[in-house]
Amino acid sequence: MKKILLASMMVAVGVLGTSGCAVRSGQSTVGQYVDDAGITTRVKARFADDTGVSAMRIQVETLNGTVQLSGFAASQAEKDKAGQVARSVSDVKEVRNNIIVRTGN
């Protein structure tokens, strides 16, 4: 039993040791990850404050200062407004507006 436990611990240490310092693919530092998380939070907060944008239907992801918007908008005006709001947030370098406009239903 001790050998199994020791072997399991060695495998866990090996996996942790080889995973490196990257937070996730495409990001090199923890600082950049924290900056991106802050941008995402500020964009979502602005959406929540803006009556012209649904914070519930639009998802926000940030990577290296580039904000990607996805989800659904009730109109082209809402999609455009979401892009404008995201661009107005400090530290945003680029906005990729992949929101789909749903008409009907």
| Residue type present at position 11 | V
The tens place of each residue's pLDDT in the chain, 105 residues long, gives 555 544 445 555 444 444 444 445 554 576 677 799 999 999 999 999 999 999 999 999 999 999 999 999 999 999 999 999 999 999 999 999 999 999 865
CA count, 13 A, side-chain hemisphere, 10: 6
Pairing relation of β-strands 66-73 and 100-101?
A: parallel
pLDDT at 36: 92
pLDDT at 78: 97
The two tokens of residue 9 are 């611990």
Could you give all domains of the chain from N- to C-terminal order, each with its CATH number? 22-101 (3.30.1340)
Predicted TM-score (pTM) of this structure = 0.69
